[in-house]
Chains A and B, each alone.
Chain A
């Protein structure tokens, strides 16, 4: 990497530090679950290093001891479909990059690094090095905390499960430019709450993401016509 890429990588890594305790907690929980499901510590760690997609790893560990391999792989695909939406959203900023860059950014893309990097891009400060650094901030923590899985008995007791919603709130507010974005956020929240009850896996993110964004477009059209 060129030196400005290294500077940006470091900046992305640093931007991820406030979220690291939250990632570590989810890593622990995954580790506990994977162990219960019959995966060895080495295998639990290996899944984090290769698949590197938190919610689908939880689901896979939950299915592990009573499900066929193909079913686990298909379920993983479905749970991770929301990443296509994230990729579509951040992709326009990455068009000029080489295939190697795109492959690397895709392999390590997560909800957290997407959220931090898209905020930077919107404010004109984003870069591929920053996105990769933010992703690696997750990659440094996720597998090792999974390995340590059984060490902390009850992370919710410490309120560490609050870190993700809090971090996402801070990021969300950076996008609150006008009334339309407030309406979209409220609509997405309500749809997600309802959809989480009705749909399996993380479908609620896809459904609420698509419906609420479309509502934004409709509101824009309605205002244009008025």
Chain B
């Protein structure tokens, strides 16, 4: 256990800031054309990478349960509406409804 927690926080803050600032500043330099086009694909790749393990393997292994079905409903709504609020609202509503119908266990 670290003896000076706040010093550790200071170190953690410094390295975290470095990862964030480096990217923002480096992007300001003149970038090659292929790199610009590569960057265009990053959001799609990063968002999908953030979603997949959380949605399909939340405990580290592939799982199929009520949550998966609710997320499937959310995916369809996301595709049709492209709206964050409605995606969350219908996905959560689907989860609660399914849990109610199956007797309250997850």
- Chain A interface (Cβ within 8 Å of chain B)? 18-19, 38-39, 43, 46-47, 50-53, 56, 60, 64-70, 72-74, 76-77, 80-92, 94-95, 102-103, 105-107, 109, 111, 115-116, 118-119, 122, 156-157, 159, 161-176, 180-181, 184-193, 196-197, 204-205, 208-214, 216-217, 220
Task: List the A side residues contacting B19 at CB < 8 Å.
Answer: 77, 80-84, 87
A51 with B13: CB separation less than 8 A: yes
Report which residue of A18, A38, A170, A216 has the largest number of chain B beta carbons within 10 angstroms of its beta carbon.
Answer: A170
Whether the Cβ atoms of A105 and B24 lie closer than 8 Å is yes
What is the distance, in angstroms, from A194's C-beta to the closest C-beta of chain B?
Answer: 9
- The reply to whether A87 and B21 form a contact with Cβ atoms under 8 Å apart is yes
- Cα distance A118–B96 in the bound complex, in angstroms: 31
**Bound Cα distance from A217 to B40, whole angstroms:** 9
A192's contact among B12, B44, B48, B83, by CB below 8 Å, is which? Answer: B48
Contacts of B67 in A (CB 8 A): 159, 161-162
- Subset of 12 A-B contacts with CB under 8 Å: A47-B5, A64-B1, A73-B15, A89-B43, A91-B24, A94-B27, A165-B71, A168-B47, A174-B82, A208-B52, A210-B45, A217-B34
Interface pair B45/A185, CB less than 8 Å apart = yes
**Closest chain B residue to A39 by CB distance?**
B5
Q: A175-B44, A188-B45 are in contact. Are A60 and B24 (CB under 8 A)?
A: no
Cβ of A141 to closest chain B Cβ, rounded Å: 15
CB atoms of B57 and A196 under 8 A apart? yes
Of the candidates B13, B39, B106, which one forms a contact with A89 in the assembled complex, judged by CB atoms under 8 Å apart? B39
Which chain B residue lies CB-closest to A220? B37
B41, chain A: closest CB distance, angstroms: 4
Residue of chain B at shortest CB distance from A115: B47
A95 and B53 form a contact (CB under 8 A): no
A170 to B50, CA, bound (A): 13
A-B CB proximity, top 9 nearest: A87-B23, A91-B27, A216-B41, A189-B52, A170-B87, A208-B49, A170-B84, A212-B45, A188-B48
Q: Which of A19, A111, A159, A172 contacts B44 (CB 8 A)?
A: A172
Interface contacts (Cβ under 8 Å), in number, total 298
Complex CA–CA separation, A67 to B1 (angstroms):
6
Interface string of B82-97 (1 = CB under 8 A from A): 1111111001100110
Decide yes or no: A87 and B26 within 8 Å by CB, A165-B54, A217-B34 being known contacts: yes
Does B60 interact with chain A (Cβ within 8 Å)?
Answer: yes
Given the complex, which residues of B lie within 8 Å of A159, measured CB to CB? 67, 70, 92, 95-96, 99, 106
Q: Is the CB of B20 within 8 A of A84?
A: yes
Nearest B-chain residue to A116, judged by Cβ: B84
For the complex, is B101 an interface residue (Cβ under 8 Å from A)?
no
- Do B49 and A188 have beta carbons less than 8 Å apart? yes
Q: A188-B44, A212-B41 are in contact. Are A18 and B88 (CB under 8 A)?
A: yes
**How far, in angstroms, from A107 to B84 measured CA to CA in the complex?**
25
- The reply to whether A87 and B2 contact each other, CB–CB distance below 8 Å, is no
- Judging by beta carbons under 8 Å apart, are B15 and A77 in contact? yes
Contact call B38/A188, Cβ cutoff below 8 A: no
Q: Provide the residues of chain A in CB contact with B84, threshold 8 Å.
A: 18-19, 116, 167, 170-171
